Homo-oligomer: A and B are copies of this chain.
Amino acid sequence: MSGFDVGTRLKQLRQRRDLSQRELAKRAGVTNSTISLIEQNSVSPSVSSLKKILDALPVSISEFFAGEELASEQVFYRAEELTEIGDGTLSWRLVGARRPNRSMSILHEYYPPGADTGEDMLEHAGEEGGIVVSGSIEISVNGETRVLTRGDAYYFDSRLPHRFRNIGDTDCVIVSANTPPSFAEGGGTQHH
């Protein structure tokens, strides 16, 4: 039914690391029985259990299921197919789910009035750039602050501390690209 063999996939990942069911269970904070039952597809684990187990490998959930639709790489995306990555006020839409082997991510970003990536400046590896499609946005990079409007653009090394803020009273829409894909690996509730 699921079309995706959770049990076998988990078993492969575990064995590749030379871990016993008990050892993995211990690291994950579950019991060996749980691992056994999952690997036999006797149960469909809860997301929380699966996450605990994958964290111990460690493998991200999206990685775990990455092969699920590897079938054919998708080229075209309808507007409503873009993967949404929001957190309440801010909202980004990703072209293509996280595909670990792609070298860029492209985003459709929506900043409602007042939206703010936060006072703690963002800093991470890679480069990013974009063009303002509508509205206006205040961008600070490495101490310099500018307000960009429709048609304006930016490009910088993401290691420079940066911040995005919509100080206008209309939505701001940006199309941007990052490299390497930053909605990706690694910890934390990272933006951008």
Contacts and interface: CB of A to CB of B under 8 A. Distances in A.
B152 A70 contact: no
Given A66-B183, A75-B144, A76-B144, 17 more contacts: A3-B189, A16-B84, A45-B46, A46-B46, A66-B83, A69-B183, A77-B154, A78-B151, A79-B150, A79-B151, A79-B152, A82-B151, A102-B155, A104-B177, A108-B131, A129-B177, A131-B175
A31 interface: no
The size class of the interface chain A forms with chain B is 35 or more
Given A2-B51, A98-B66, A179-B179, A75 B108 contact: no
B71 A65 contact: no
A106 B130 CA distance: 7
Most chain B C-beta atoms within 10 Å of own C-beta, residue among A79, A130, A157: A79
Nearest to A184: B69
Interface string A134-178: 000001011010101111111111000000000000000001110
Contacts of A47: 2, 6, 44-47, 50
A119 B2 CA distance: 25
A68 B79 contact: no
B46 A63 contact: no
A103 interface: yes
A123 B112 CA distance: 39
A30 interface: no
B63 A61 contact: no
Given A71-B183, A86-B12, A127 B103 contact: yes
21 contacts: A2-B47, A12-B84, A12-B86, A16-B84, A63-B98, A70-B190, A71-B124, A73-B155, A75-B146, A75-B156, A76-B153, A77-B153, A79-B151, A82-B151, A95-B131, A95-B155, A106-B130, A106-B153, A108-B153, A130-B175, A179-B179
